[in-house]
Amino acid sequence: MSAVTAPKRRFGGMYGGNARAIIERGFKATMTNNYLIILSGFFEPVFYLFSMGVGLGGIIGTIDLNGTEISYGAYIAPALLAVSAMNGAIYDSTWNVFFKLNFAKLYQTMLLTSLGPLDVAIGEITLALLRGGIYAVGFLTVMSIMGLALSPLAIFAIPVVILIAAGFASVGMAFTSYMKTFQQMDWLPLVMLPMFLFSATFYPISIYPEPIQVLVQCFPLWHGVELVRMFTTGVFTAAAWGHLAYFVVMLGTGVIVVARRLRSLFLR
Amino acid sequence: MSHSVIRAVNLTKKYDDFVAVDGISFEVARGESFGLLGPNGAGKSTTMKMIASVSTRTSGELTVLDLDPNVDGPAIRSQLGVVPQEDNLDGELRVRENLLTYGRFFGLSRAEAGKRADELLEFAQLSDRANSKVEPLSGGMKRRLTIARSLMNDPQMLLLDEPTTGLDPQARHILWDRLFRLKEQGTTLVLTTHYMDEAEQLSDRIVVVDKGQIMAEGSPAELIRTYSTREVLEVRYGSDKNVSVAALIADVGERQEVLPDRILIYSDNGEQDLAEITRRGHHPTTSLVRRSSLEDVFLRLTGRSLVE
Ligand SMILES: Nc1ncnc2c1ncn2[C@@H]1O[C@H](COP(=O)(O)OP(=O)(O)OP(=O)(O)O)[C@@H](O)[C@H]1O
Ligand SMILES: [Mg+2]
């Protein structure tokens, strides 16, 4: 008899119940190869915080947030916190996944074992969100040291930021699962950069005309920025529920698309 | 539990309009060693993938270890060892880590996976490369590592898609020996190969496939008896003369195959045929009388030689 017990049937053969092993493999691969590279993405929002928050903030002074005056640095810091979560999650779930999917053929190997596509989806998305989470915790630390976390509730920004990272990771991987060439991957910055610049990151979106505001509100980063800002400033509105719901739906949709896509790519 | 570990009835796989596997039916008994033999593009790998439940059949029935691959992929694969045609090792991990993580994918404990990894490194003669990266390994070493990896979960059934392609003769013989021992312990083997000697050594039963269909089925000896003669006479006259000479000696032996580099004459007495040809004044540059092999069966059935 084999040393391995057969997993139960779950989701019609889509799930082997062992996504943990994929996460473990991810850690091992990172440790073997590129644990310094993993840090590089962390610094980008930190540099923005220094240059814009400290530099530009000195000129701008304070900003009005739903009736509360806060420093410019404290205004953009939570936005950059959301961005750092997004960056970590997106980097892992797009470029790394693209490589594993099209060059390393890693998922084919995983699917020769008792793992199913859902294990792969959950495992890889978790790795990406962990990276986003690590960036975010680091960033929150920097922010706190600089006195930019105004509310004691800022600590609860961590689970929120992890949810945001999860949303980005799952959609990032879903997107990548359709990409076949480097040229197609080049579309990514074309979405990411404007989203970064225009999502109430550096100024309130009320300066835009109505239709542009609506457009910005369709994109996930705006919801992330607004949500995180509530936690670090302590200025909450009921819209928080909407933002949370946005990320829950984003995560759920992403996981389902990825699992289906992996199934049609590798088990067709 | 039924006695067959694989049961395929009218198994069919289409890629869009192209039929890669065209309604094949076969059964494999527990502990049996079963070979799929066929030329390039015959549908061997596609069949293997369907058995490994990493490719979904288009129609027909397929049962593997009493389960349906369409819905029980993880459970089936937990009992399989799969050696794909192309090594797909994890280049981000080192040699031993490749085995370890693979074992962990099956849910083995770290201790168990570590123990098996060390045993299998020994078996694959890669113990001294345990901490090397995968990329600099030679082709044969990678193949051995892939085979070692397939044994991490101590499978009930091994699927080997051209397992020894790229191995040197010594490594092949060591692998055959090891596979033979696994078979003795009750492991079911399903293999595809281009090597006749490998098929004869390892398979209790063979199906010859071509263009997605089964052409013949039987033990190596049965196939040779049914589809070939006892002996084969090979004569060579040089590539420009083979065809013209063949026409003149067409009546010698039971059957003739003209290949670009030689003429094969099938009969029960090769020496006698050679004497007859020589008597007629057609002295070959070289000649050879040998026993029929699976290669001849293959040539007869598909009109092609196996190793292209
Ligand atoms: N993913 C795929 N999409 C489309 N066609 C495919 C796919 N995989 C295999 N085929 C086609 O199916 C046919 C059978 O392929 P398969 O790989 O099963 O052959 P094989 O018998 O293993 O050949 P070889 O000896 O060369 O490995 C081939 O014509 C191949 O082009
Ligand atoms: Mg093949």
Q: Which residue type sits at A27? A: F
For residue B31, is it within any domain? yes
Residue-wise pLDDT for B129-141, tens only, equals 999 999 999 988 9
Q: Which pLDDT band holds residue A2 (cuts at 50, 70, 90)?
A: low
Q: Is there a single domain that holds both residue B143 and residue B287?
A: no
- The whole-angstrom separation of Cα A120 and Cα A16 is 10
Q: Is the pLDDT of residue A36 over 80?
A: no
Of A41-45, A203-207, B119-123, B161-165, where does mean pLDDT reach its minimum? Answer: A41-45
Structure tokens at B100: 């370890």
Q: Is there a single domain that holds both residue B135 and residue B262?
A: no
Q: Is the CB of B85 under 6 A from ligand 1?
A: yes
For residue B302, is it within any domain? no
| Arithmetic mean of pLDDT, A57-84 | 91
Q: Is there a single domain that holds both residue B88 and residue B147?
A: yes
B-chain CB neighbours of A114 within 8 Å are: 74-75, 77-78, 105-107, 153
Total domain count for chain A? 1
Ligand 2 center from residue B48 Cα (angstroms) = 9
Residue B42, domain extent? 4-219
Ligand 1 center from residue B43 Cα (angstroms) = 6
Cross-strand pairs, B217: B207
Q: Is there a single domain that holds both residue B248 and residue B135?
A: no
Residue-wise pLDDT for B232-286, tens only, equals 999 999 888 888 888 899 899 999 998 888 999 999 999 999 999 999 999 999 9
Q: With pLDDT > 70 as the criterion, what percentage of chain A qualifies?
A: 97
3-state secondary structure chain B: CCCEEEEEEEEEEEECCEEEEEEEEEEEECCCEEEEECCCCCCHHHHHHHHCCCCCCCEEEEEECCECHHHHHHHHHHCEEEECCCCCCCCCCEHHHHHHHHHHHCCCCHHHHHHHHHHHHHHCCCHHHCCCECCCCCHHHHHHHHHHHHCCCCCCEEEEECCCCCCCHHHHHHHHHHHHHHHHCCCEEEEEECCHHHHHHHCCEEEEEECCEEEEEECHHHHHHHHCCCEEEEEECCCCCHHHHHHHCCCCCCEEEECCCCEEEEECCHHHHHHHHHHCCCCCCEEEEEECCHHHHHHHHHCCCCCC
Global model pTM greater than 0.80: yes
Q: Is there a single domain that holds both residue B68 and residue B212?
A: yes
Say which ligand is closest to the CA of B46: 1
Q: Is the pLDDT of residue B308 over 50?
A: no
Minimal-distance CA residue of chain B relative to A32: B93
Residue A249, domain extent? 38-266
B-facing residues of A in 181-220 (CB < 8 A) are none
pLDDT reported for residue A259? 86
Q: Is the pLDDT of residue B31 over 90?
A: yes
Minimal-distance CA residue of chain A relative to B75: A6
Residue indicated by tokens 């220094």: A50
Total domain count for chain B? 2
Of A3-17, B65-79, B130-144, B181-195, where does mean pLDDT reach its minimum? Answer: A3-17
Q: Is there a single domain that holds both residue B181 and residue B265?
A: no
Q: Is the CB of B38 under 6 A from ligand 1?
A: yes
- The whole-angstrom separation of Cα B102 and Cα B134 is 14
Q: Is the pLDDT of residue A156 over 80?
A: yes
Q: Is there a single domain that holds both residue B185 and residue B250?
A: no
Average pLDDT along chain A: 90
Bigger pLDDT: A239 or A67? A239
Q: What CATH number should be reported for the domain holding residue B189?
A: 3.40.50.300
A63's enclosing H/E stretch is strand A62-65
pLDDT reported for residue A263? 84
For residue B304, is it within any domain? no
Q: Is there a single domain that holds both residue B145 and residue B170?
A: yes
Q: Which pLDDT band holds residue B305 (cuts at 50, 70, 90)?
A: low
For residue A150, is it within any domain? yes
Q: Is the CB of B163 under 6 A from ligand 1?
A: no
| Arithmetic mean of pLDDT, B44-63 | 96
Residue-wise pLDDT for A180-194, tens only, equals 898 888 889 999 999
For residue B307, is it within any domain? no
pLDDT reported for residue A217? 95
B-chain CB neighbours of A110 within 8 Å are: 105
pLDDT reported for residue B166? 81
In this structure, the residue with its CA closest to atom 17 of ligand 1 is B45
For residue A9, is it within any domain? no
Task: Please report the ipTM that was assigned to this predicted complex.
Answer: 0.87
**B55 in A contact zone (CB under 8 Å):** yes
Q: Is the pLDDT of residue A35 over 90?
A: no
**A116 in B contact zone (CB under 8 Å):** yes
For residue A3, is it within any domain? no
Probe site for chain B from A11, A113, A260 (most B CB atoms < 10 A): A113
Q: Is there a single domain that holds both residue B44 and residue B96?
A: yes
For residue A32, is it within any domain? no
Q: Is the pLDDT of residue B49 over 60?
A: yes
pLDDT reported for residue B2? 55
B-chain CB neighbours of A122 within 8 Å are: none
Across the A/B interface, how many CB contacts are shorter than 8 Å? 125
Between strands B286-291 and B231-236, the pairing is antiparallel
For residue B143, is it within any domain? yes
Minimal-distance CA residue of chain A relative to B72: A13
Q: Which pLDDT band holds residue B295 (cuts at 50, 70, 90)?
A: confident
Residue-wise pLDDT for B89-111, tens only, equals 999 999 999 999 999 999 999 99
Atom number of ligand 1 nearest to Cα B36: 21
Total Cβ atoms within 10 A of residue A10: 15
For residue B306, is it within any domain? no
Of how many residues is chain A composed?
268
A214's enclosing H/E stretch is helix A210-218
| Arithmetic mean of pLDDT, A23-34 | 87
Residue-wise pLDDT for B207-239, tens only, equals 999 999 999 999 999 999 999 999 999 999 988
DSSP string, A242-267: HHHHHHHHHHHHHHHHHHHHHHHHH-
For residue B305, is it within any domain? no
Q: Which pLDDT band holds residue A33 (cuts at 50, 70, 90)?
A: confident
For residue A166, is it within any domain? yes
Q: What CATH number should be reported for the domain holding residue B260?
A: 3.30.70
| Arithmetic mean of pLDDT, A68-78 | 93
Residue-wise pLDDT for A84-138, tens only, equals 999 889 988 998 899 988 888 899 999 999 999 999 999 999 998 998 888 899 9
Q: Is the pLDDT of residue A178 over 90?
A: yes
Nearest by CB: A104 against B91, B105, B154: B91
Question: Does the beta-carbon distance from A116 to B73 stay under 8 Å?
Answer: yes
For residue B211, is it within any domain? yes
Bigger pLDDT: B308 or A29? A29
Q: With pLDDT > 70 as the criterion, what percentage of chain B qualifies?
A: 98
